[in-house]
Amino acid sequence: MSRSHRRAAKTPPWLGVLVDTDERWSNYLYILGTAYPRFLWLFFEYSGDGIVWLAIALAAFFQPRATLTQQTLVLNFLAGWALDLVLVGTLKFLIRRRRPVYNVAEDFLVVVAVDAHSFPSGHAARVSFIAQFLILCLGRAYPRLSFLAMYWAVSTALSRAAMGRHYLADVAAGLLVGVGTVLLVSKVH
């Protein structure tokens, strides 16, 4: 018996139905996404990239006028950024769900071995964490920022499926990882 047959035999029928539904809806969103220029999706992808946000955080930390409070917020952000990276990497390593077959990997910014896996979406986790972190820190002073941050996070997360990088379940799981990350960081804060 082949390896895939043994795995399929262990899979409960309800899980197979969920996976099939996820793949079907994800494929539908991907087909809809192909009607838009790829650079639009790449904009969202780059805006949610971890290296971009690491650079922004380090620039904010080392800016000459940064107060101790601001630097503390940046350190909390960096702790969440690192925790997000560890959680997503660990889940990808353990679950090892393949990316959709229609994923175009040539225009990835950086691909590491664990990033070959699809579940959960690291971009979705990251933007979920970043948006919620911004809302916690700045939402009262800048209420419109809360709306913009959530709009950006949801748009970026959905763009992952529209680009064919992830399935919708990967995106949903990533958003939940982001929620967990911000809850953990805000408890420590």
Q: Which of 5, 117, 166, 189 is catalytic?
A: 166
Catalytic residue check, 123: yes
pLDDT digits (tens, 9 = 90+) for 33-87: 889 988 888 899 889 988 899 999 999 999 999 889 889 999 999 999 999 999 9
Domain CATH for 154: 1.20.144
Q: Which of 5, 117, 123, 189 is catalytic?
A: 123
Per DSSP, the three-state class of 119 is coil
Q: Report how many domains make up the chain.
A: 1
Q: In which domain, by residue range, is 77 found? A: 3-188
List the structure tokens of 92. Answer: 């990808």
Taking the C-alpha atoms of 74, 78, 80 and 85 in order, what is their torsion angle to the nearest 10 degrees? 160
Catalytic residue check, 5: no
Asked whether the beta carbons of 88 and 177 are under 8 A apart, the reply is yes
Compute the distance between CA of residue 128 and CA of residue 108 in angstroms, rounded to an integer.
20
H or E element that contains 4: helix 3-10
Number of C-beta neighbours around residue 63 at 10 A? 11
Compute the distance between CA of residue 18 and CA of residue 15 in angstroms, rounded to an integer.
5
Quote the pTM value.
Answer: 0.83
pLDDT digits (tens, 9 = 90+) for 100-116: 877 776 655 554 444 77
List the structure tokens of 128. Answer: 């979920």
Which alpha helices (H) appear in 34-141, and where do they start and end?
A: 38-47, 50-62, 68-95, 122-138
